[in-house]
Structure 1
Amino acid sequence: MTSNVHAAEMPMRAAICAVLLALLSSCTNVPLQQGGSLGSYAGMTASGGSLTKAKLRVNSPAVLAAQTVRIAPTRVENAGGSFEPKDLALLTNAIDRALCGGLSDRFKVVGPDQPADLVVHATVTDIVATNRAVAATSTVATLGASVAMVPIPRIPIGLGGLSAEAEAVGQDGTQQAAMIWSRGANMLTTKARISAVGDAYSLSSAFGADFSRMLVKGQDPFKARSSIRLMQKIKASFGSDPKYDACKAFGPAPGIKGAVAGQLGLPPSWSDKGAAVSQ
């Protein structure tokens, strides 16, 4: 009898998985943007994951030999629309914060006035704006469903996205690693925020993690096995002090307040106070 029940459940589970995969793949199509901020785009190979598009190149011996890294402030080259300067500042600072946290896994991160084996700089090349009205509707529907304990996906229109690029340059000015990256929000894993940069902000940590993992491992981050220092990551996500003083310049992670803000669909500025010092 039990085996018959399990056999009957299998088609249903398969159907549910198929629906979830379809919803997960229903994301904004954000093309890779070659922004022109990198010293070279030669020798890049296509990579990426199920949700992310990327092209990259890494000089593994040179990157793995490096011990210190300095992070130059992320810039916006093409906002792709009209965005508030304060929102762009929060977005670029969130990228810097994610880079600093990720690179701390192996490198010593130094301040802006100190020498380093590698200098990292990133550039936002495109922002696909989040439709705030649709995000608000999705948030209301999600909160209503959560009361009834029925999870529902976001409305599949008005989703935003982010395109960015970054490189790591050695002391002699030679590019040692580079990446072009893009990703769109999806209906399941990207919480709706009532902000034009809401989705781009949410995706900023993914970009920072992918690029920093490439430098930490010295290889394609989408193929490398991750060995994340879990406790350090958890503490940082809750707003505790970062491993290196240089990372304090980017301010603390929003922590629990940020998680609550994400659930309620509030703009990034509600929980993220941005950089701790002027850069």
Structure 2
Amino acid sequence: MTFRLRLSEMPAQAAACAVVFALLPSCASVPLQQGTSLGSYAGMAVSGGSLTKAKLRVNSPAVLAAQTVRIVPTTVENAGGGSFDAKDLALLTNAVDRALCMGLSDRFNVVGQNQPADLVVHATVTDIVATNRAVAATSTVATLGASVAFVPLPRIPIGLGGLSAEAEVVGQDGSQQAAMIWSRGANMLTTKARISSVGDAYSLSSAFGADFSRMLVKGQDPFKTTSSVRLMQKIRASFGSDPKDAACRAFGPAPGIKGAVAGQLGLPPGWSDKGAAASR
């Protein structure tokens, strides 16, 4: 038997969906996952926002006095116990590096891997909460169908993924100048469903990179300050334009418009993101 939803029934259908969604968690809960990559975990203060959990510390005078920074490629520490595809993990870690480079270039001169720098940044993915691909596919189909009917429909709040990561900054003498432990789960309103086990973690990688780089740019807790981001520069970079610092080209261009379309269609990250540049 085939059922057809008449236009007059759409408001009632939307209301019913809203009631069901209200009874379910609207975002994935991802605990802070402390790894072993930081030189020190001492003196970190609890912070974070409405969606993000974090602990951090920053030596403001040392960070604000620095002019150059080098990014060591992000690594993965036992995230998922080896259950994720290596190519997906490479895209995820590179997306973290790309976001860090974009954010740090707002104030610092980002230099290449073989060049000296005042500060050295290294991030580690400590946990990935897998996205349920079947639910993501169902959610994408439902959302696209609702869009055609002009009925806004949030993502199905089941099988949401998440990301936990940590990063630190060391000075030329090897001493830690800033550190952060960070976690965030996908939510049904702002995180587009991607049919990939790392889809949500990939989508959240830019948020982690932005939070950590903002802490260094401002020299203070990024969750308690407003950002003075060079908006046009970041808009151009997000749409695939050349980054301000040549060193950032090592992480490849942002997926741009193709990536935005892929996100709307629920396609895996690899459909639009080609990863690091070949010369890296």
Partner residue in 2 for 1:198: 199
The correspondence of residues 122-201 of structure 1 with structure 2, limited to 5 A, is 122-201=123-202
Please give the per-residue CA displacement for 1:230-263, whole angstroms capped at 9, x wherever unaligned: 1001000100000011000000000000000000
Question: How much identity, in percent, do the aligned residues show?
Answer: 88
Partner residue in 1 for 2:6: none
Partner residue in 2 for 1:86: 87
Cα RMSD, aligned residues only: 1.8
The correspondence of residues 21-60 of structure 1 with structure 2, limited to 5 A, is 26-60=26-60
Partner residue in 1 for 2:67: 67
Whole-angstrom CA distance in 1 between matches of 2:80 and 2:89? 12
Whole-angstrom CA distance in 1 between matches of 2:23 and 2:191? 12
How many angstroms does 1:276 deviate by?
0.3
How many angstroms does 1:54 deviate by?
0.1
Give the conservation status (yes or no) of the 8 Å contact 2:24–2:157: no
Whole-angstrom CA distance in 2 between matches of 1:249 and 1:277? 8
Whole-angstrom CA distance in 2 between matches of 1:22 and 1:65? 48
TM-score of the pair, normalised by structure 2:
0.91
Equivalent position SS for 1:106 = coil
How many angstroms does 1:24 deviate by?
11
How many angstroms does 1:277 deviate by?
2.9
> Partner amino acid for 2:61?
P
Whole-angstrom CA distance in 2 between matches of 1:24 and 1:271? 31
Please give the per-residue CA displacement for 1:188-223, whole angstroms capped at 9, x wherever unaligned: 000000000000000000000000000000000000
How many angstroms does 1:26 deviate by?
1.6
Equivalent position SS for 2:121 = strand
> How many aligned residue pairs are there?
262
Whole-angstrom CA distance in 2 between matches of 1:96 and 1:23? 37
How many angstroms does 1:49 deviate by?
0.3
How many angstroms does 1:278 deviate by?
5.4
Partner residue in 1 for 2:97: 96
Structure 1: gaps of 5 or more residues: 1-17
Please give the per-residue CA displacement for 1:52-91, whole angstroms capped at 9, x wherever unaligned: 0000000000000000000000000022241100000000
Structure 2: gaps of 5 or more residues: 1-17
Equivalent position SS for 1:141 = helix
Equivalent position SS for 1:73 = strand
TM-score of the pair, normalised by structure 1:
0.91
Partner residue in 2 for 1:259: 260
> Partner amino acid for 1:109?
V
